[in-house]
């Protein structure tokens, strides 16, 4: 990825800062050309994400959220700017960055326990090392009674639990999640919000989570980034006490932030 490179080293302090960052993004661009027509899904994105932070990337459809996430994953190659993950230029997918997609992306031909073990097993991790992690996360996400089930036998919510257990069992440093709960009903989504928050607090992973749902962002995030027309238009810390749920609707600061987010998004969450 020649267009996306690291900057020259400038000082010990800059290197120390870089070492604390999961992502360092500067002037990131992605454009497509078709004849004289230019489409620019990302237009000069500047962003630093510290390790261990839970960041929600919020915005209406078609404004660059998923495009940015796919660049972070190494699935798309930017056409300009700088993109580092843990201090190293992103040049493609890597095991340190796990992805959970909106659609079911788990192998349908593998039983639950084999799905959860698939990542570390494929990477050649010794069974003695990955098996305890697989067992732990199967238990943590509530799949102990479904170890031998096929994905087709599970509800949408349970399949999403398989995806979450799988990505945690593979032990990436960074989780990239693209609207993973958008197709689920409210009650299932709320349960998975609590589950994901608990696993994040347990493991200290960095999570970048794309959503178009303001309330979902307020429940999950340490920090909310709003993208509009491929650029960051808001970057807000979210420091409400955890755990979070419906009580946020009676929380003055949360309601104030919700109103500001809705104003920036044009009064619409879709």
Q: What is the pLDDT of residues 204-236, one digit of tens each?
A: 999 999 998 999 999 999 999 999 888 999 999
Within a domain: 187: yes
The percent of residues in the chain predicted with pLDDT above 90, rounded, is 67
The mean pLDDT of 17-28, rounded to a whole number, is 84
The mean pLDDT of 192-202, rounded to a whole number, is 93
- Write the pLDDT tens digit of every residue in 156-186: 889 999 999 999 999 999 999 999 998 888 8
Within a domain: 94: yes
Residue 236 · residue 243 · CB < 8 Å:
no
Task: Identify how many contiguous H helices and E strands the chain contains and give both numbers.
Answer: 8, 10
Can you tell me the distance from the alpha carbon of 244 to that of 240, in angstroms, rounded to the nearest whole number?
8
Nearest to 139 by CA among 119, 174, 112, 157: 112
At 10 the pLDDT is 42
At 101 the pLDDT is 86
Within a domain: 14: no
Within a domain: 256: yes
- What mean pLDDT is reported for the chain? 87
Which helix or strand (DSSP H or E) is residue 49 part of? strand 37-50
Per the structure, the complete domain to which residue 130 belongs is given by 52-77+88-264
- Write the pLDDT tens digit of every residue in 85-136: 999 999 999 999 999 988 777 899 999 999 999 999 999 999 999 999 999 9
CATH number at residue 100: 3.40.50.300
Can you tell me the distance from the alpha carbon of 94 to that of 74, in angstroms, rounded to the nearest whole number?
8
Can you tell me the distance from the alpha carbon of 126 to that of 64, in angstroms, rounded to the nearest whole number?
39
Q: In terms of DSSP bridges, do strands 80-85 and 21-34 run parallel, antiparallel, or are they unpaired?
A: antiparallel
Question: Confidence class of residue 270 from pLDDT cuts 50, 70 and 90?
Answer: very low
- What's the whole-model pTM score? 0.86
Can you tell me the distance from the alpha carbon of 161 to that of 138, in angstroms, rounded to the nearest whole number?
9
Within a domain: 32: no
At 19 the pLDDT is 61
The total number of structural domains in the chain stands at: 1
């Amino acid at each position: 990825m020649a267009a996306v490179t690291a900057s020259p080293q400038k000082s010990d302090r800059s290197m120390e800062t870089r070492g604390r960052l999961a992502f360092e993004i500067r002037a990131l661009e992605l454009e497509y050309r078709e004849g004289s027509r230019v489409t620019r899904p990302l237009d000069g994105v500047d962003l630093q994400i510290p390790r261990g932070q839970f960041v929600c990337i919020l915005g209406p459809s078609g404004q660059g959220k998923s495009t940015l996430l796919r660049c972070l994953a190494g699935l798309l190659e930017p056409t300009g700017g700088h993109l580092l993950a843990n201090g190293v230029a992103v040049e493609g997918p890597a095991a340190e960055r796990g992805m959970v997609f909106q659609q079911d992306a788990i192998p349908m031909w593998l039983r639950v326990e084999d799905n959860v073990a698939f990542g570390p097993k494929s990477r050649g991790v010794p069974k003695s090392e990955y098996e305890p992690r697989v067992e732990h996360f199967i238990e943590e996400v509530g799949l102990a009674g479904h170890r031998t089930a096929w994905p087709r036998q599970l509800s949408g919510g349970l399949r999403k639990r398989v995806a979450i257990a799988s990505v945690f069992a593979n032990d990436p440093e960074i989780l990239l999640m693209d609207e993973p709960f958008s197709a689920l009903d409210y009650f299932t989504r709320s349960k998975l919000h609590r589950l994901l928050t608990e696993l994040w607090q347990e493991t200290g992973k960095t999570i970048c989570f794309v959503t178009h749902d303001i309330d979902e962002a307020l429940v999950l995030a340490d920090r909310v980034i709003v993208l509009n027309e491929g650029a960051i238009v808001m970057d807000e810390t979210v420091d409400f006490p955890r755990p979070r749920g419906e009580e946020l609707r009676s929380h003055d600061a949360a309601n104030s932030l919700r109103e500001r987010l809705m104003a920036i998004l044009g009064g619409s969450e879709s």
